[in-house]
């Protein structure tokens, strides 16, 4: 179990690093500094100058990540009868990882077209989310001996709104990746509207406003999901939900600041990194909420049982 936990947690951390570094590559316009794939300028280790450092480092970490993912899958298969939800998580991980590798190569071959970059970023977030779920499952206590295998339950409690919030965060990030890769970040120089209109008058403005509107929808759902978590979930679920909501507020501030100060490099990267962290907060909260019914009864029921007098026969 320790080995599985180690691979799962290491995989999630590396996936987050890959996402942040990938956004840094995109923001610094370094995606084509290695014009071929899987080599870079025809070499395994190219001359590391300029943007090549960023792009090659991204590929190197991705190579290391592939071995970690393989370790997580092999050790996870061995623990599949002890950990709730691990089998579908492993299947999803294998599929998403294969798609992400293919999209990485396609992005280079398509010269970083906005659509290919958006798909690559979206699959990267799906990869990160899947590994994070696997890490949470691995850290979750295994079932007791001879107990029936638990299952994830997303049909009650705070899990559905939290999962929906994570889904909207995913959509908003994909829209943001398209805006960034199509250089439409300043297409709408005003906030909250676009030069007095709701959706703008050009394609770049439309893309920018779709990103903003999806962000607004996500913020509303994040508030609802957090309130649902506060009404009856465990402290760790409410903690991650509250963290996610706080990060949403930070993200809104970063988004406005990027427009006002015309996309300074540091703020753009902070905006991308905070988006991924916000997404993860709701993914973790939703996964923990789905596991809760399988671990403990409601807090009020536990208190009632503890207060019940013990009778002797």
pTM of the predicted protein model: 0.85
Mean pLDDT of 173-185: 91
Output b/e per residue, 154-186; b: 16+ Cβ within 10 A: eeebbbbbbbbbbbbbbbbbbbbbbbbbbebbe
Query: How far is residue 18's CA from residue 1's CA, in Å, rounded to a whole number?
Result: 26
**pLDDT confidence tier of residue 296, bands split at 50, 70 and 90:** very low
Higher pLDDT, 149 or 124: 124
Rounded to whole angstroms, the Cα distance separating 44 from 38 reads 8
CA 196 to chain centroid = 33
Say what the pLDDT of residue 142 is.
Answer: 57
Cα distance between residue 117 and residue 128, in whole Å: 16
Please give the average per-residue pLDDT across 170-180, as a whole number. 93
- In this prediction, residue 302 has a pLDDT band, given cuts at 50, 70 and 90, of very low
Average pLDDT over residues 90-107: 89
Highest mean pLDDT among 40-44, 208-212, 267-271 belongs to 208-212
* Helix and strand counts by DSSP (H, E) for the chain: 9, 0
Give the integer Cα–Cα distance in Å for 170 and 214: 10
Cα radius of gyration (the chain): 22
> Among 66-75, 182-191, 303-312, which range has the highest average pLDDT?
66-75
Q: What gap in Å lies between CA 124 and CA 12, rounded to an integer?
A: 11
Q: What is the mean pLDDT of the segment spanning 233-246?
A: 94
pLDDT tens-place string over residues 24-40: 887 777 777 888 877 88
Which position has the higher pLDDT, 239 or 33? 239
Percentage of residues of the chain with pLDDT beyond 70: 88
Residue 108, classed as helix, strand or coil, is: helix
pLDDT at 239: 96
pLDDT tens digit sequence for 111-126: 778 898 899 889 999 9
For the residues 153-175, what does the mean pLDDT come to? 88
pLDDT attached to residue 309:
54
Per-residue pLDDT averaged across 180-203, rounded?
A: 90
Mean pLDDT in the chain? 85
Buried b (16+ CB within 10 A) or exposed e, 42-66: eeeebeeeeebebbbebbebbeebe
- Answer yes or no: is pLDDT of 308 > 90: no
**Mean pLDDT for the stretch of residues 235-249:** 96
């Amino acid at each position: 179990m320790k080995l599985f936990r180690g691979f799962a947690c290491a995989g999630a951390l590396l996936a987050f690093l890959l996402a942040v570094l990938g956004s840094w590559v995109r923001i610094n316009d370094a995606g084509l500094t290695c014009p071929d794939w899987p080599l870079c300028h025809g070499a395994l280790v190219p001359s590391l100058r300029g943007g090549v450092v960023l792009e090659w480092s991204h590929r190197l970490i991705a190579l290391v990540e592939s071995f970690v993912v393989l370790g997580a899958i092999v050790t996870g298969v061995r623990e599949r009868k002890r950990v709730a939800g691990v089998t579908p998580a492993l299947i999803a991980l294998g599929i998403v990882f294969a798609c992400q590798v293919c999209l990485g190569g396609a992005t280079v071959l398509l010269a970083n077209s906005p659509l290919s970059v958006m798909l690559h970023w979206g699959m990267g977030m799906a990869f990160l989310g899947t590994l994070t779920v696997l890490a949470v499952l691995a850290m979750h206590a295994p079932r007791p001996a001879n107990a029936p295998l638990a299952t994830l339950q997303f049909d009650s409690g705070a899990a559905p709104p939290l999962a929906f919030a994570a889904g909207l965060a995913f959509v908003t990030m994909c829209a943001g990746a398209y805006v960034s890769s199509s250089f439409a970040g300043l297409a709408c120089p005003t906030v909250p509207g676009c030069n007095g209109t709701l959706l703008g008058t050009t394609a770049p403005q439309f893309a920018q406003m779709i990103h903003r509107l999806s962000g607004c929808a996500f913020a509303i759902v994040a508030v609802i999901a957090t309130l649902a978590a506060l009404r009856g979930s465990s402290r760790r679920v409410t903690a991650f939900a509250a963290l996610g909501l706080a990060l949403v507020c930070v993200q809104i501030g970063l988004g406005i600041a990027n427009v006002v100060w015309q996309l300074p490099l540091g703020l753009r990267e902070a905006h991308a990194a905070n988006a991924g962290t916000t997404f993860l907060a709701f993914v973790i909260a939703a996964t923990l909420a789905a596991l809760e019914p399988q671990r403990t009864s409601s807090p009020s029921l536990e208190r009632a049982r503890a207060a019940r007098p013990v009778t002797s026969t």
